[in-house]
Amino acid sequence: MLCVEDDPAMGALLVKELGRRGFGVRHVRSANDALAAVEVEDYDAVVSDVRLGGMTGLELCERLVARRPELPVILITAFGDLDTAIAAIRAGAHDFLPKPFELEELAIRVTRAAELRALRAEVRRLREGIVTPAGIEEMIGEHATMQRVVAMIQRVASSEAPVLIAGETGTGKELVARALHARSPRAAGPFVAVNCAALPEALLESELFGHTKGAFTDARAPRAGLFVEASGGTLFLDEIAEMPLALQAKLLRALQEHTVRPVGSDREVAFDARIVSATHRDLESRVADGEFRDDLYYRLNVLQVRLPALRERGSDVLLIANHALKRIAQRSGKPVRGIAPEAARKLLAYDWPGNVRELMNAMERAVALAEYDDVTVADLPEKIQAFTRSHVLVAADDPNELLPLDEIERRYILRVIEAVGGNRTRAAEILKVDRKTLYTKLKSYGWRPSDPPLGAPPT
């Protein structure tokens, strides 16, 4: 547990006395230190004095509840101060304890709070395990590149073999993982997701593989770990490239033996979960750089689903945008019906580095700003409004802004098509390729002869 107390003597006393009663206690002296501490470590409960130098315990409580809703906070209030006690509960405190208090009383309340926390975590896991029956239906896309993805999902869903989902950030990797689960024979089992980049190594290890009672401070009860909890279902290892090398070895062993060894234990525990992993990084180059084990890479990558970037999905951009718009408009009760042609053109021209997630955010904002029936250019983020064909060839020195050859080709071809007003024969002459090649490329970009010229100046 975490103890927030600005008086060092009182803090030391709490650490000692609660420690004697079997609690692992970390003491910090300010609200800011407490907020920083919960970012890096998982606590069963927080005990804080209301009166702290700087931010008060009440404010701290509010912020903790907002960030970590399942983390119970116990506030220590002054004796007889009913107003503060009420304020504490309003601020989302799980419990309050008037001064002076018996340490035994505090210990009992902390235990109760920790039990509540375990229960909340369980409920959250159960809830995450419920996959909306929509599954793959939520994935919108008609472009050939997406049709291939859907076909691939259907083909591999029923297999038990590990699947690696690759694709840029925001392309829908988690959506695919859920769709794979929902269409698998394990659909009735849990879907357990863990983000390998979000936790420090030691915590990730005990989350994944479990731990015995007393394996480390705070490990007051044994835990099975996510491999075991996902048994009968799917374990989704998100951001797998970020897994530290030491854990990669342990993961490889788990995949080979179908057992895990909890931290602090010398016993192997069997699990039965299907492994789906995802990354937005180029795992092969990480293997080449020695940052990712090649044997693990081959294990995880038995089957692969590669998601295309949104800019490679042609007019799917508008399909997804319209779908999102209808849903957002309905939810917010705003009578926005569609996208004005000029705004649609901007959406098609933009290169979407944040992919579908960026598009979703843009639509959310656009609906909020819209003053008419249709979303107009003015409702789009500045970045999208300002994106013009001058971005075709990048004048950048920053390696992060440089583009792959395919993308340069795509942009240049669209630029030429635009310059000749959509005349494909003329464009093919300029590009010195045959018309059929040009047509195939244009089709793969989602361009249709009826489409407006891309990036045309506003009318």
Ligand X SMILES: Nc1ncnc2c1ncn2[C@@H]1O[C@H](COP(=O)(O)OP(=O)(O)OP(=O)(O)O)[C@@H](O)[C@H]1O
Residue 7 binds which entry of ligand X, Mg ion, none, CB below 5-8 Å type-dependent: none
The closest of 325, 311, 274, 364 to 167, measured between CA atoms, is 311
Query: According to the binding rule CB under 5 A, does residue 62 interact with Mg ion?
Result: no
Residues 6+ apart with CB under 8 A from 444: 144, 145, 312, 314
Residue of closest CB approach to ligand X: 172
Q: Which residue, 72 or 167, is less far from ligand X as judged by CB?
A: 167
8 A C-beta contact, residue 74 and residue 48: yes
Query: According to the binding rule CB under 6 A, does residue 304 interact with ligand X?
Result: no
Q: Among residue numbers 344 through 403, which ones bind ligand X (CB under 6 A)? A: 356-357, 360
Residues 6+ apart with CB under 8 A from 64: 34, 35, 38, 46, 71, 73, 92
Q: How far is the CB of 312 from ligand X (least distance, A)?
A: 12
Q: DSSP 3-state assignment of 438? A: helix
Q: How far is the CB of 275 from ligand X (least distance, A)?
A: 16
Distance of alpha carbon 256 from alpha carbon 279, whole angstroms: 21
In which element (H, E) is residue 405 found?
helix 405-419
Q: Which of 162, 167, 189, 210 binds ligand X (CB under 6 A)?
A: 167
The mark string for 111-140 relative to ligand X (x by CB under 6 A, - otherwise) is: ---------------------------xxx
Query: According to the binding rule CB under 6 A, does residue 169 interact with ligand X?
Result: yes
The closest of 196, 203, 302 to 241, measured between CA atoms, is 196
Q: How far is the CB of 175 from Mg ion (least distance, A)?
A: 9
Show the CA angle centred on residue 19, arms to residues 37 and 47, nearest 5°. Answer: 45
Query: According to the binding rule CB under 6 A, does residue 173 interact with ligand X?
Result: yes
Q: Which residue, 27 or 280, is less far from ligand X as judged by CB?
A: 280
Distance of alpha carbon 113 from alpha carbon 180, whole angstroms: 37
Q: Among residue numbers 315 through 334, which ones bind ligand X (CB under 6 A)? A: 320
Residue 167 binds which entry of Mg ion, ligand X, none, CB below 5-8 Å type-dependent: ligand X
| Amino acid in the structure at residue 388 | T
Q: How far is the CB of 296 from Mg ion (least distance, A)?
A: 20
Q: Among residue numbers 159 through 198, which ones bind Mg ion (CB under 5 A)? A: 174
Q: Which residue, 356 or 370, is less far from Mg ion as judged by CB?
A: 356
Q: Is the N-terminal amide bond of 100 cis, ω within 30° of 0?
A: yes
Q: Among residue numbers 240 through 279, which ones bind ligand X (CB under 6 A)? A: none
Q: How far is the CB of 279 from Mg ion (least distance, A)?
A: 10
Distance of alpha carbon 261 from alpha carbon 257, whole angstroms: 11
Query: According to the binding rule CB under 5 A, does residue 291 interact with Mg ion?
Result: no
Evaluated on CA atoms 431, 437, 439, 445, the torsion sign reads negative
Total length of the chain: 459
Query: According to the binding rule CB under 6 A, does residue 287 interact with ligand X?
Result: no
Show the CA angle centred on residue 171, arms to residues 166 and 175, nearest 5°. Answer: 85
Cα 306 to its chain centre, rounded Å, is: 18
Q: Which residue, 115 or 174, is less far from Mg ion as judged by CB?
A: 174
8 A C-beta contact, residue 15 and residue 27: yes
Q: Which residue, 174 or 272, is less far from Mg ion as judged by CB?
A: 174
Query: According to the binding rule CB under 6 A, does residue 11 interact with ligand X?
Result: no
Q: How many CB atoms lie within 10 A of CB 451?
A: 18
Query: According to the binding rule CB under 6 A, does residue 159 interact with ligand X?
Result: no
Q: Which residue, 168 or 316, is less far from Mg ion as judged by CB?
A: 168
Q: How far is the CB of 54 from ligand X (least distance, A)?
A: 35
Q: DSSP 3-state assignment of 338? A: strand
Q: Which residue, 236 or 271, is less far from ligand X as judged by CB?
A: 236
8 A C-beta contact, residue 241 and residue 283: yes
Q: How far is the CB of 152 from ligand X (least distance, A)?
A: 14
Residue of closest CB approach to Mg ion: 174
Query: According to the binding rule CB under 6 A, does residue 170 interact with ligand X?
Result: yes
Residue 141 binds which entry of Mg ion, ligand X, none, CB below 5-8 Å type-dependent: ligand X
Distance of alpha carbon 47 from alpha carbon 99, whole angstroms: 13
CA atoms in the 13 A half-sphere facing the CB of 286? 20
Q: Which residue, 178 or 211, is less far from ligand X as judged by CB?
A: 178
Q: Which of 56, 171, 231, 234 binds ligand X (CB under 6 A)?
A: 171
Binding stretches for ligand X (CB under 6 A)? 138-141, 167, 169-175, 280, 320, 356-357, 360
Binding stretches for Mg ion (CB under 5 A)? 174
